[in-house]
Every structure is written in structure tokens, then in C-alpha cells.
Structure 1
Amino acid sequence: MAKTRGQDAFRPIGSVSLVLLQLLSGAIPGNGGKADFEVFGPREPVLAKVGEDADLPCYLYPNISAEDMELQWYRDQPSPAVHVHRKGKDVPEEQMALYQGRTTFLKDGVAQGRASVRIHNVTTFDNGTFHCQFNDGTMSAEATLWLRVAGLGSEPRIQVQVDQDGVVRAQCTSAGWYPEPQVEWRDFQGQMLPSETNISISPTTGLWAVASSLTVPSKAVGGMACSISSPLLTEKKVSRHHLPDPASRWFLSTTLPLFLAAAVLVATFTCLLWR
């Protein structure tokens, strides 16, 4: 019985020792312990239109202060960076040339582990992946963010030519789209019209331009609409063109010229009589 009591008396000491060893092993770097913090960003891509501002937020878990940390946003590689904020101050000399003068560090919430970089005047070249990294001097963690850029182009311009044989040739042009836009032609009954579309991209702005053409018999449509949209936006740009009815076109192309010719002859004959 005495031996049994002796074993029971030493069990709490052994348990306490085991707990202490576990705590120490978790506190020593390199022993498989978890990181002191993690960094998270938005789950969904951030959407911004060309010319607008875009915020790229990141936050710590747990929500410890990031005031004394180095915070860095970058693209493919950490240096040069999109924006660097080190111990309360921006470091513009470490920025990419593309982002110099175009970013602002939003410090509200830094004491609670939240920070964001605002990119001004978004362009197509900002589209893609970003990373934000938090470094406290002993360890660092980072998250990946996605910025999706959309360009809403100009109002479509429709130019129409009606041949003598009654064939309608129309072209719809517009510029300033991103990414590659979608073009549709429809008549006023909502039926799609077959067309041929050519697109081109500007090497300086990365924006797309559209030139879409269609050819239809004039009797087939009373008018047409050209619709252009971006796959990232719900809004679209639409232009419409009304065609005169065939009777009006016949009058304008035959009767009206004859009437004008007759009027000229009458005027000429009257002038001769007065002489």
C-alpha cells in the first residue's frame, strides 16, 4: 500500500514536467511551434475601374499591433515593392517606378493589426496578383491578393451606308475597354445579327479598341443596335441606328431627284420667258 501511495504522489510532478517541456518546445524557434501570427487578405478579388482608386487590405491574426513592424506590398518579387511602410514611416525609395507617387498607406487600424495600401489612378498594368508581408524582426508572414481591373469604354459609334441594291453596311467602333470586350448586334426585335469584329490593344495603355461590321439586306431590318460590354462589369454601352422604311428610301433615291430636276427646269424656263 505504501508503494502505491508513493507512485500516486509522484504522478502530478511528472504531469507538470511534461506540460513545461511542451510549453518550452513550442516557444523555441525551429522546434515545430506555430507562428506567432498569420496574415490574411480579402477572399475575393478586389475590383476597380480604370482611373479609379483601389484598396488592398490585409490584417493580422490574432489582431496584435503592427505599428512597429515592416509592412510591404509587392508584385512578383519583394524588391522593388509596390509600397513599404517600416516602423511608422513610408519608404518611397524602395518602390517600383510604376507605383511611385501612386500609393497611399492607410494607417487606420494598424494598432489592431489592420493595414491597407491604396493605389491611385488604376491602370490595366495593375491587374493581377499582389502580396502583403508583415515582418516583426523575428518572423514574417504574408497573404496573396488579387486586383481585377475593368475598363468601361466609350459610347459606340455606328456608321451606316445603304447601297443602291438595298444592302446595308454598318460599322460600330469604340475604344477604352478592358479586358477584351464582347460585341453584339441586334435588330429592334431583339434578334442577333451576324457580324465580323476586329479588336486591337494599345501598347501604351493596355486598353482595347473595337471595330465591328455587319452586312444585311435593308428589307430585313428596320434598325440595329450595337452593344459592347466588359466581362467584369454588369453595365454595357449601347448605340442604336434607325433605318428609313423601303418606301421612303425609294422616294429619296428616285422620285426626289426627279422632282428636283423638274423644279430646276421650270425655274430655268421661267427665267427665259421673263427675258
Structure 2
Amino acid sequence: MKNIGKYFAAALALILVIPLFTGCDDLDEYTLGSVSATPSDKFNATIQFVSRLSDGALMTGDADLKAVNDYLVSTLKKRDEAWLTVLDRTDNTGLGKVAALSLNTYRWTIPAFYGLSSRTAFEGGTLYFNQPIRQSKAMACGRNCYVTGFSPLMEGMRTDKDESGAVTGTEDVAFNINFRTVRFKSGEQIDAFGGETGVMNTLKRENMNMLLIGTVKNELVGALESAVAGTDPSFKVYRIAQGGAYTLFMLAEMRFWGYTGMNQRSLGSGIDAYEINIMW
């Protein structure tokens, strides 16, 4: 009689446990299969990219320096209206101008090296930001191409709305992001960027949530899009603006970042400021 009681208790316990295991399986299938992450338009931040989108240097004289300086100091109110500004093609002749702009805007700078145009001249950009950083690094991407990366403090905003769409409140948001920039001017550079063993995979394995904003020659935009899609279709190339020689683009994993629009502001002398709006 005691043995029968033991068997009965064991069978009852087994009956009670089986639904727990099957229930967990069903729950996992329901929750994990239905989870999706996408950027929200309630979060917004703006990055300025100042460029000619050409093969020429950004600033070749005092008039160009004044135009860029007025934009950084007056329009952006030095550092109040900007947390990251990229000046494209601040080449050899622009180094003194870069230093002057940094002092006038009270902002930190690091160079973004593009490559050598000759043995004694280089091409590159300059990144302006508000908080000091510990390091930046550049990764070679084919001949005469480097992807520059660092982690600036992003300053954005969260906007809350009610069911009717009316704004109910806003709140400042700030956190460090993984930012990258590059200029592609040859198919060989794009080949080095894409593919299983390419630079893109190396960078995304370090930081899947990286945000890259750069330029590519107009005739190579399609090749870049194909290389990115073939390497990882969860990443997208957003075409922001096309100039005479180069196209401004944004590259990001679609679960982390989204492109919401751009305001183009002419600074004169063929220089434009592209104010890029992003969400996360």
C-alpha cells in the first residue's frame, strides 16, 4: 500500500510538471518570435555636415573661413545648438583655419584622415564636438581610405505626444554613441569595406550600434549599397544629398538608428551645411 502511494505521488508530480515545460516552450515561441526593435521618432538628434561635396578643399580663402565661422558661431551659437559637426575636406591649407574655428566655438576637434593626394599633401576632415574624449582611431579600408571612429556624447531630445499627436512634453537626452566617418572614391575601397572579411564586418562586431556618416563618389553609390546589403542586410545606406562629385550618406543598422530628414543651408561660395536628423 505504501508503494502504491509513492507511485501515485510520483505520477501526480509528473503530470503537474509537464504543462510547465510545454507552457514555457509556447511562451518562448510567442515572446521571442514577436519581439522587434525599431527606432522611434519620439527621439531626435541633429548632426551637421559642412561640405562642398566636390573634389576640392572646403576653405581656400578668408571668405570661406568667414562663412564657416559665421555658421558655427552665430547660427549654431557656438556649442549650444550643436554636439557634433563634421567639416569635410579641411585639407593642408585649412589647418590654421581649423584651429581658429575651434577656439571661436569653444569646441574640441579631432582629424578624420582620408588619404594622401601627394607626398606632401593630405586630404581629410575635422570633427567638432563638445566633450573631451579619451581616444579616436582610424581603420584602413583599401588604398588611401580610412574609417575614423570615436565616441562623442550625443545630445538629443525626447518628445512625448498624446493620442491626438499633440506634444505633451520634451526632455533632453544624452549618451555616448559609436560614430564613424569615411570618404569612398574608388571601387577598390568599397570592396575592402564590404564582404565577410571586410572593414564593415570588423566594425559592426566591435559595435553593432555604430552610426556612420560619410561621402561616396556619385558613380559608386550603387556599389556601396550592394556591398552593404551583401555583407549584412540589416544595415541600410541612406542617401542624404548629392553634390557635383560626391553623395552624402548615412549607414546604420535599422534596429538602432533611422534617418528622418535633412535641412540644407547654403553658406555661400559653394559651401553647404547639411543638418541631418536621426532617431534611435
Q: Which protein is richer in helix relative to its size?
A: 2
TM-score by length of 1: 0.19
Name the larger-Rg structure: 1
